[in-house]
A = this chain, B = another copy of it.
Amino acid sequence: MKFEISKTGCDPASIPDDGNRFLIGNGYMGVRGTLEEFTKKELAAVNLAGIYDQADDGWREPLNAPNPFYTVVSVNGGALRVQDFPPAEHEQRLDFRYGLASRKTVWNLAKGRLTLRAERFASMDNSHLLGLKITLCANADMRVKLEAGIDADVWDIHGPHYSSVKFGEKDGVLICEAAVQSGGTVAVSRNFSLPPDEFMRGTAIYLPELKAGVEFSLSSVCAVYTSKDLQNPAEAAQKSCAGSYENLLKASKARWDEIWDCSLVEIEGDEEAELAMNYSLYHLNCVAPRGGGAVSIAARGLSGQTYKGAVFWDSEIFMLDYFLASQPEIARSLLRYRIETLPGALKKAASYGWEGAFYAWESQEGGFDACSDYNITDVFTERPVRTYFKDKQAHISAAVVWGIMRYIERTGDLSLLKEGGARVIAECARFYKSLLVMPNARKRWEIHDVVGPDEYHERVNNNAYTNRMALFVFDALEKISEILQEDEKLERECGIAALLEEIRPLRENFYMPKPGESGLIEQFDGYFSLEDASLAEARSRLKDPREYWGGSHGVAGDTQIIKQADVATMLAMFPQDYPEEILRRNWEFYEPRTEHGSSLSACMYALLACRFGNAEAAYPFFMKSACAELRGGGKQWAGLVYIGGTHPAAAGGAWKVLAQGFAGLEYSDGKPSLRPCPPRHWKRLRLRFIHEGQIMLADITPGKAELKSK
């Protein structure tokens, strides 16, 4: 089984994508897959989870720590940077079984060939630690200079975030303390397996005389702490990087072995899919919070500051299921994050005159909504454009409820409900109740003026997905009311009984868009009356490739072209609502009208295709999701805003397709069963997941599906 990706050559144009592809991470931080000599120009970054800063009027975004991997080799005063001095050979690899990224670069110099190797990893055992090992070898004697330091001149999208940086050295360990503008400190340390010839400001300098054929190796353990972790991050960083590279790597590998034990996917007959799927799980694990706290995952993982490092519905609707199936404690962290950010959601709802909890569209710590009312910059006027992601994308609260209900169903663990989950559900139900409007013309309760998953169509009425999710929330309230009926304390806190009294008659007269004669469900009121322009036609109307497609001025806004799966997402999530024929018809109608301008789109079409038994239709969409990083080339721009980075939701979505679609893993009364629907060319699919603390193995071959404890 292949657990490696690699590339040879160094094309500057692929640096941003490579930074995502060769990323290492451990949930606390992600280190972009850039080379040791790279700086902010090449988007080098040690991206930190859950710590944010706002510089001046810029967007609030997560911090990038000073980079302790920064290392440059020089010969005769000439720095060997691939971007300045093209190498004779160059390759990058990632062993994603163990999260070990490496590079090998050969330069032809006047005196001979010099080979630089480096390997790096983020410890899965201690999330504050990173390891880096540099090896030099030449085919002729030569004197080199190796500068190994901490680069505090970090890449920022809306920076700078550090008001001052202090370098120090103690007991052979380099330490960098960066003071955050809005308060707090980020401390980074780097130790060295050899004493340096000299310490300069933030740098250890080595001047080895290389002998032909003899390797010179230098390894470092690096530590990152912030003042959010403890009081004295510099001291902690300095102390904790004392160990050896080898021991750190060994402990980290052992943790990866545990992860794969309950996660590994085996696909006979499709090595590409197998690799893409496991590689996707690698990425999910790189960004998964492991500290047991109340932490979630940013939409672009830990690959940088894109999307402000904010948490979206991606976490609950796309990523959660994999964690529930492999490491429920991580799923619990994601959901605890929502419970802890309820005050922010209550505040947001009140600020718009709604009751209950309206979760942040782009959630930062405390549930602060980092989304701007002007999230797009017009390419023609460079003026900010009013967008409605923040104030109208009402389906976000329902995604939170979906996540909590999913957790309860899969784990049977009700503690989350008692620790605030029930309150979250009640407040979200209150929110949707207050959103309801009754048009006198129709005498039924509707939901108006929202944005659905398809963001290209703004301020629509009765978005099918949103209405369905509101219904789901009302039903969830009924369920937890049954579950919790004996719990008087919770009842007092949440007022569920009285709330249900209010909601029941509203729910009975609540409008849910239904399939018409054609079997099609209208995405929102009036959608079918929009221009039925083809994707090619819409694209041909663009005057600038970076133009935003949506809203009143975009080429899609007044057509049936949608950004991403919307009705399809609803049907993929609630397949039991309709017969397969309806699922199929809607897939066939909406898919050609979908621009797939979001990495959340393909997996939902894939999953839905499996729901009506068409794995062949599903397969290319599954592969698109599973290969989001491998293939690269995703949308890099929305208007004038950079949106590149990794796509953990696509990875999580791919797993959903694999498990719930191709393997057909279903639960009934808490018991898993299989209803497989694999692509025809797959000879065998073996899928691991956790059930009631046991690792289960689903083993699917043509005509046969076995489910057993491993």
Contact = CB atoms under 8 A, between A and B. Distances in A.
A381 B552 CA distance: 13
A293 interface: no
A557 B442 CA distance: 31
A441 B434 contact: yes
Given A385-B553, A552-B385, A553-B553, A435 B445 contact: no
A103 interface: no
Nearest to A430: B441
Nearest to A547: B381
Contact of A437 (B355, B378, B437): B437
Given A381-B553, A383-B541, A558-B386, A437 B435 contact: no
Nearest to A446: B437
Interface string A441-461: 110010011000000000100
A474 B492 CA distance: 45
Given A381-B543, A449-B448, A557 B386 contact: yes
A643 interface: no
B445 A448 contact: no
A440 B506 contact: yes
A541 B382 CA distance: 10
Contact of A552 (B353, B380, B552): B552
Contacts of A433: 440
A436 interface: yes
Nearest to A383: B541
Nearest to A506: B440
A692 to B, nearest CB: 41
Nearest to A502: B440
A414 interface: no
Interface in A551-574: 551-553, 555, 557-558
A167 interface: no
Contacts of A435: 440-441
Nearest to A441: B434
Contacts of A437: 437-440, 448
A232 B459 CA distance: 53
A620 B353 CA distance: 41
A354 interface: yes
A440 B448 contact: no
A462 B374 CA distance: 24
A436 B445 contact: no
B445 A386 contact: no
The residue in A374, A448, A552, A558 that gathers the most chain B C-beta atoms within 10 A of its C-beta is A552
Contacts of A506: 440
B385 A353 contact: no
Contacts of A436: 439-441
A506 B440 CA distance: 9
A508 to B, nearest CB: 14
Nearest to A434: B441
Given A380-B380, A385-B552, A552-B386, A440 B449 contact: no
A434 B210 CA distance: 87
A411 B68 CA distance: 89
Interface string A336-374: 000000000000000001110000000000000000011
Contacts of A551: 552
Contacts of A381: 380, 543, 553
A385 B380 CA distance: 15
A704 to B, nearest CB: 52
Among all A-B residue pairs, the 3 with the closest Cβ atoms: A380-B380, A434-B441, A436-B440
15 contacts: A353-B441, A354-B441, A355-B441, A380-B380, A380-B543, A381-B553, A433-B440, A434-B439, A436-B440, A438-B440, A448-B448, A448-B449, A551-B552, A552-B553, A553-B553
Given A353-B441, A440-B445, 14 more contacts: A353-B442, A373-B558, A378-B553, A380-B381, A383-B553, A383-B555, A385-B552, A385-B553, A386-B558, A435-B441, A436-B441, A437-B438, A437-B440, A448-B448
